[in-house]
Amino acid sequence: MTPLEQLARDAGLQVVWEDSDGQTRTLSPDTQRQVLRALGYAADDEEDIAESRVRLARLTAPETVDQWPAMITAVVNQPIVLPGMLPQGTPYTVIPEEGDGLPEVLDARGCLRPISLPGYYVLDLLGHELTLAVAPTRCPGIQELAPRRKVPLSGLGVQLYSLRRFGNNRGMGDIEALALLAEAAAAQGIDALAISPVHALFPTRPHQFSPYSPSSRLAFNPGYTSLGGPDEPGSNTALIDYPAVLTSRWATLTEAFYAMDAAERDAFEAFCREEGLRLERHACFEAMLELLGPREDWPTAYNQPDSEEVRQFVQVHREHVERYQFAQWCITRELVQAQQRARRAGMAVGLIADIAVGVDPQGSQAWAHPEDVLDTIHVGSPPDAFNANGQDWGVAGFSPQGLLQHGFRGFIETVRAALKGAGGLRIDHIMGLSRLWLIPQGAAPTEGAYVRYPEQDLLRLVALEAWQHQALVIGEDLGTVELDFRTRLDQSGILGMGVLWFEREAESFTRAADYPARAVSMASTHDLPTVAGWLAGRDIHWRHRLGMLGDTALDEAMAERARERTWLAEALNIDADSSVDRWLEAVAYHIGATPAPLALLPLEDLLGLMEQPNLPGTLDEHPNWQRRLPVNVERLFDSETVRMRLKALIKGRQEHHHG
């Protein structure tokens, strides 16, 4: 093994890996060097490699306590293994968040004594203080979260931007529409709403509206505010006019900022104190975008969040910064209240938030926390059967070394932010807790590499945060997933996803009773066809129109869909030529009749809509994230066909349980 390969392996690169066809691949030396450079380890020559190996060893194999990582993770009632060896009898103290610690000594194996209560502790050892995160054995399950429910739970998938209220006189969805939907759905026996991400986007870039390319996952999107009157631009259009709507909503937020009374000002200032530097940096970033223009035009000093120039900017432009802090106060308060309304209405879980896999490398989180984020390398996927060229998702992920060095602060804060106004969590591309396909800036997706992440630590932290918030956790585990990873998710209490279109064999679809019990069953996702669209081959026609079918002819693809339709009809126990309404009822019953602890029906399928929210592989060619629902949330359940589909879902839940 060459010194370069050894460094790459030590840094977490999978130098030898297996592609989706089972073929063994080896990273080229050039790719190894590029990815290592992006991780912060120069490898251009032997001297670089030797120096990088020394730096990396301090992190991965520390020799002294002062080199240990800032946080150690553990599991309740298990001996706590330390990052380095210390002799038996070494004294230490573990101090809980509330109360005093008791002096202890290391056992014969050099381990800390087990701790029985999950939580964050301070470990005082040889004059050094570290954080000790003690996780429960697994995330809370449905049984703990909904002990009084006699049947498994039912939920709806919700694209928040698509919601309508106020007689259609709002330009896009808002939190009040979400809360109204939660109350109406709870009355129909629904226990959860799995919503699209509400991460902060870019106020100055209204055309960049994908919820999966956020500026920051530590803040929310004030564009979803319910403030303002019913008349907004584009209130009666089928597609959202984001620039018009967001301009209107930011103007409303500005008016509300200047209209605060004394009590509101006190509450706002208390929020700012509680959120501290994290909120101030996000608001400062947004104010600088407004006043200085795109980040690439900023003077160099402004790209250092702790520079004197940035501090002076905050002082000089305090009012601008406060306006963006105020926007976060408003939207945070609205989300928390929406979750409270969902629970008061009777939902066992309420809102299930969604965490995107990465952030825009030019956004707030990458700017404010450069130690956490790899902003010169993109997350994507290697070539596979769906995309021969691989994919570059254009977002930046966490630095695995940065996570270790800084006590997983960025990861913990990201999870906590998502759970502020939610009773559950969906983690997009959960495989990213174990490895990510990282692509150096300017390189093709084929020139990326799998990089390992501290999976055990991250799974423990997810379980701890879920326990502290009493939240359900779902991991998006579709696509290429390592063989044993789903087993480890199951052991951690993280539910996978059992999607109708993927639960199949070569020439048949899976019977409801044979769905995985460790996964949430669902009819579709935002990236996949709706049921009505699938039946009509709408997704095939879109891909044909955009030249995405490759060598497959349109008639050949439609003929294959006809065969698939026959196979699915057999699994649903209906005739293949049944009406669309019958198909929709059968699908709702099918996902309800699975052993899944939670079954999710997207609103698009509840309403029988033809178009899917997002068509992967497109930007402007398809109206991604722009379609609005054709009915107001106040009237959503008035339709007899909608009620029949909902009844079929719940009937499936009941019959599976009693069967």
Q: Which residues of 27-63 are buried (b: 16+ CB within 10 A; e: fewer)?
A: beeebbbbbbbbbebebeeeebbeebbeebeebeeee
Q: Calculate the alpha carbon distances from 224 to 6, 238, 249, 493, 602 in Å.
A: 48, 18, 8, 31, 20
Q: How far apart are CA 15 and CA 38, in angstroms?
A: 16
Handedness of CA 194, 195, 200, 205 (dihedral sign): positive
**Taking 60 as the threshold, does the pLDDT of residue 54 lie above it?**
yes
Q: Which two tokens stand for residue 73?
A: 């993770």
Residues with Cβ within 8 Å of 534's Cβ and at least 6 positions away in sequence, in order, are 501, 524, 561
Helix axes 262-292, 318-344, angle to 10 degrees: 120
Q: Which two tokens stand for residue 305?
A: 């969040």
**Taking 90 as the threshold, does the pLDDT of residue 626 lie above it?**
yes
CB 347 within 8 A of CB 199: no
Highest mean pLDDT range out of 120-134, 379-393, 474-488?
Answer: 120-134
Q: How far apart are CA 335 and CA 421, in angstroms?
A: 5
Q: What is the mean pLDDT of residues 260-285?
A: 98
Residue 414 CB burial class (10 angstroms; 0-12, 13-18, ≥19): buried
Predicted TM-score (pTM) above 0.75: yes
CB 451 within 8 A of CB 432: no
**Taking 80 as the threshold, does the pLDDT of residue 659 lie above it?**
no
Q: Calculate the alpha carbon distances from 247 to 206, 232, 242, 254, 277 in Å.
A: 8, 10, 8, 11, 27
CB 182 within 8 A of CB 347: yes
Q: What percent of the chain has pLDDT over 70?
A: 99
CB 172 within 8 A of CB 625: no
**Taking 90 as the threshold, does the pLDDT of residue 479 lie above it?**
no
Give the pLDDT confidence score for residue 229 in this predicted structure. 77
Sheet holding 71-75, edge to edge: 71-75, 128-135, 119-125, 91-96, 102-105
Q: Residue 22 — pLDDT band, cuts 50, 70, 90?
A: confident
Helix axes 46-60, 3-10, angle to 10 degrees: 30
Mean pLDDT of the chain: 95
Helix axes 554-572, 580-592, angle to 10 degrees: 60
Q: How far apart are CA 181 and CA 193, in angstroms?
A: 9
Q: What is the mean pLDDT of residues 560-589?
A: 98
Query: 68-135: which CATH architecture?
Result: Sandwich (2.60)
Q: What amino acid occupies position 310?
A: V
> Domain coordinates of the chain in residue numbers?
3-60, 68-135
CB 439 within 8 A of CB 445: yes
CB 467 within 8 A of CB 139: yes
Q: How far apart are CA 628 and CA 169, in angstroms?
A: 12
Handedness of CA 44, 48, 52, 55 (dihedral sign): negative
SS3 302: helix
Residue 157's DSSP bridge partners are 194, 602
Q: Residue 230 — pLDDT band, cuts 50, 70, 90?
A: confident
Q: Residue 390 — pLDDT band, cuts 50, 70, 90?
A: confident
Closest CA to 221 of 192, 184, 195, 241: 195
Q: How far apart are CA 216 and CA 328, in angstroms?
A: 12
Q: What is the mean pLDDT of residues 337-346?
A: 98
Q: How far apart are CA 456 and CA 459, in angstroms?
A: 5
